[in-house]
Amino acid sequence: MIKREVVTDAMYNAIRLGATKMPPDIRAALQRALEEELDPMAKKHLEVSLQNADLSEKGNGLVCADTGFPMFFVHAGKSTVIEGGFNTLKACAEEATARATAECFLRPTMVHPLTRKNPGDNIGPGMPKMELIFDREDDGLEIIAAPKGGGSEIFGTFYRMMFPADGEAGIKKFVIECIKDACYAGKVCPPAIIGVGIGGTADLCMGLAKKAALLRPIGAHHPDPEVARLEKELYDAARKLGIGPMGSRGINAVLAINLDIAVTHTAALPVAVNAQCLVGRRWVARIDGNGNINYTGVLENA
Amino acid sequence: MRDIKLPMSEADAKSLKLGEMVTVSGLLFTGRSRLHIRAVEDNIFPPIDYEKINCFFHVGPVMRQNGDEWEVVSCEPTSSIRFERYGADVVRKFNLRTLIGKTTMGPRTAEALKEVGGVYLTKIGLSGNALRGQVKKVHDVHFLDELGKTECTWIYEVENFGPFFVAIDADGNNYFEDLAREADAKMPEIEAELGIPEGYTYTEVNG
C-alpha cells in the first residue's frame, strides 16, 4: 500500500521540479534549434531562454514565472493500493499545490472566473486538474506534474468541428493556420510543441491534443504510420512559415507536432489544437508498491 | 547596447529604432489586466507620481516576503496583447512613454504611443531570473490585499533592466506586423505543398 503522505510528497516534488527544471529532451531540442537559426534575434531568444533555465536550476528561481495551471496526470496499475483509496488523490494534489505555492515554486495564479478573486493557493473548483488513468500492469503510481503556462493555453487552444468531406486537407489547413496565429508576436512562446487531437467527442478531442502536447517526449512519433506521416508533413510545413523563436524571423516555430486520434461519429471530423510553450514543463514521479519514489524529467511512453 | 534612463524622455523614445535592443534603468510600476480594467472602468489606479514613474511593466511577478522586505523570485513579462482593449486609454491617461511586456500591442495602443511619444518594448526569450537580479529595490506595493501578489502594482527600481527590443516605435510602427505579412505571403505555397486545393473552404453549415 502506498501511503497518502508519500503520494503528496511525490506530487509536491514533481511540481516543484517541474517549475524549476527544464526537461532534458526539451533542452536538447532548444539547443539544436539554436544551432540552426540564422537571424540574430532568433538566436538571442533561445540563448536567453537556455540561460534562464540554467539560472533557475542553480538558484531558487523558476523556469518561467507564469507557473500557470497546476495539472497532474496520474497513471495507476492493476494492483495499486493507496492509503485512503483513490479518492485521496484529489486531496493529495491540493496539499501539494498549496505547499508549492506557499513556498513560491508556483505563483498564485488561479482565480475565480467571474469575481476574479484570488484565493492565493491555486486551489478551487477544478484546480489543480488531476487526471487518473488506469493503464499500468503493476502496483505503482506514475505522477506527471505539468504546470502549464497561460500563454500556451490561452493563445494556443483551438477547436473546429469539421465534416467528413473536409478531409485531410481541412485538418492540415486548420492546424497550419492555428500555428501561424498562435506564434504571432510570440504569443504561445515558440518554439512550441503542438498537440493535435483528431476524432472523439469535443472534450476527448481536446484532451488528446493536450496530452499529445504535454506528455510525449520530443522525437517520439505516433505508432500509426499514417498519423506519423501527417505529423511529419505538418512539421515540415510549419518550418516554412518564416516564424522562429518568440515570433522572430526564423525556422523553429515548433519543436514538434504530435497528433493523436480517437474514433469518432461517422458524420463528424473534430480537430483540436493545444500548444505547449518552449520550456515544456513537466516532471515525473514514479512510486513503486513499497512507496519508493524516483523523480525524472524523462518521459517513458511514446 | 544603449541603456535608457527612466522616466524615458521624448527625445530618447523618438531615437529608438524598431527592433533595437535596449536596457532601461530607473523606476517602473507593474500591473496587468486588473490595473487596466480598474483604471478605465472605475477610475481606480495606483496613487503614484506618473511623471516620475512613467514606465509600465506588464508582469505578474512571483514575490516572496522576508520580514518587512519583499524579494522578487521571478518576473517574466506577461502577454501585453491581452490589454489592447484598454491599452490606449491607459497610455493617454498617464502619458506613458514606456511600456514593457511580452508579444506586442495592437494599432490603437500604437496610435496612443505615437501621440505621447512613447515606445513599446518586448521581451527577449524567457528571462525572468536575469530580470529578477536587475531589480535593485522593491520600493512600494499598491492594492496588495485587494488584488493579490500577481495582479497588484509593485514599484521597482531597476538597473540595466533587460535587454528588451523595440516592438512599437514612437511613430507607431510595429515590428511584428511586417513578419505577419511575410508569413501570410508564404501560406499559399505552404498549402499547395500540403496538398490543400487552391480556394479550399471548410464545409459551411450556417447558410
Pairing of strands A157-162, B135-142: unpaired
Cβ contact A180–B187 (<8 Å): yes
What single letter denotes the amino acid at residue B20? E
Cβ contact A185–B129 (<8 Å): no
The helix (run of H) or strand (run of E) holding residue A169 is helix A167-183
pLDDT digits (tens, 9 = 90+) for A198-226: 999 999 999 999 999 999 999 999 999 99
In a domain, A57, yes or no: no
| Minimal-distance CA residue of chain B relative to A179 | B183
- What is the residue whose three cell numbers read 490543400? B196
d(C-alpha B116, C-alpha B39), whole Å: 18
Going by the DSSP 8-state scheme, the letter that residue A126 receives in this structure is T
Residues in chain B with CB shorter than 8 Å from the CB of A116 are 34
Neighbours of A40 (CB within 10 A): 12
**Residue A11 and residue A130 in one domain:** yes
In a domain, A31, yes or no: no
**Residue A139 and residue A206 in one domain:** no
d(C-alpha B31, C-alpha B19), whole Å: 24
**Residue A194 and residue A254 in one domain:** yes
Q: Min CA distance, B38 vs chain A (Å)?
A: 12
**Residue A180 and residue A243 in one domain:** yes
In a domain, A142, yes or no: yes
Q: How many domains does chain A have?
A: 2
Residues in chain B with CB shorter than 8 Å from the CB of A180 are 183-184, 187
Q: How far is the CA of A14 from the CAs of A68, A143, A146, A180, in angstroms?
A: 15, 8, 8, 32
> DSSP H helical segments within chain B, as ranges?
10-15, 33-37, 84-94, 107-116, 128-134, 144-151, 175-193
What single letter denotes the amino acid at residue A8? T
Query: Which of B44, B179, B52 lies closest to A187 in space, CA to CA?
Result: B179
* CATH number assigned to the domain comprising residue A89: 3.30.360
Q: Min CA distance, A86 vs chain B (Å)?
A: 33
**Residue A11 and residue A144 in one domain:** yes
Residues in chain B with CB shorter than 8 Å from the CB of A163 are 203, 205
**Residue A241 and residue A256 in one domain:** yes
Say if residue B42 is exposed, middle or buried (CB neighbours under 10 Å; 0-12, 13-18, 19+).
Answer: exposed
The whole-angstrom distance between residue A46's C-alpha and the CA centroid of its chain comes to 19
**Residue A9 and residue A136 in one domain:** yes
pLDDT digits (tens, 9 = 90+) for A111-132: 999 999 999 999 999 999 999 9
d(C-alpha A15, C-alpha B79), whole Å: 24
pLDDT number for residue A300: 82
Q: What is the pLDDT along chain B (207 residues), one digit of tens a residue?
A: 999 999 999 999 999 999 999 999 999 999 999 999 999 999 999 999 999 999 999 999 999 999 999 999 989 999 999 999 999 999 999 999 999 999 999 999 999 999 999 999 999 999 999 999 999 999 999 999 999 999 999 999 999 999 999 999 999 999 999 899 999 999 999 999 999 999 999 999 987
pLDDT number for residue A301: 61
**Residue A245 and residue A177 in one domain:** yes
Cβ contact A189–B126 (<8 Å): yes
Q: Kindly state the cell numbers that stand for A84.
A: 485512503
Q: Can you count the helices (H) and strands (E) in chain A?
A: 8, 9
d(C-alpha A191, C-alpha A179), whole Å: 10
CA dihedral A289, A292, A297, A302 (to 10 degrees): -20
d(C-alpha B168, C-alpha B88), whole Å: 13
Q: Min CA distance, A171 vs chain B (Å)?
A: 10
**Residue A81 and residue A208 in one domain:** no
Name the pLDDT band for A164 (thresholds 50, 70, 90): very high
pLDDT digits (tens, 9 = 90+) for B106-133: 999 999 999 999 999 999 999 999 999 9
Structural domain of A249: 150-276
pLDDT digits (tens, 9 = 90+) for B79-88: 999 999 999 9
Query: Which of A8, A11, A15 lies closest to A281 in space, CA to CA?
Result: A15
The residue extents of the domains of chain B are: 2-175
In a domain, A67, yes or no: yes
* Phi, psi values for residue B20, rounded to 5°: -70, 140
Q: What is the DSSP string of B21-50?
A: EEEEEEEEEEE-HHHHHIIIII-------T
Going by the DSSP 8-state scheme, the letter that residue A226 receives in this structure is H
Q: How far is the CA of B13 from the CAs of A19, B57, B93, B113, in angstroms?
A: 36, 16, 18, 10
Q: What share of chain A is helix, strand, coil (3-state, %, to 5)?
A: 40, 20, 35
**Residue A116 and residue A145 in one domain:** yes
Cβ contact A151–B79 (<8 Å): yes
**Residue A129 and residue A178 in one domain:** no
Name the pLDDT band for A302 (thresholds 50, 70, 90): very low
ipTM of the complex: 0.94
In a domain, A39, yes or no: no
**Residue A8 and residue A141 in one domain:** yes
For domain B2-175, which architecture applies? Alpha-Beta Barrel (3.20)
What single letter denotes the amino acid at residue B16? L
Q: How far is the CA of B147 from the CAs of A298, B58, B132, in angstroms?
A: 38, 15, 21
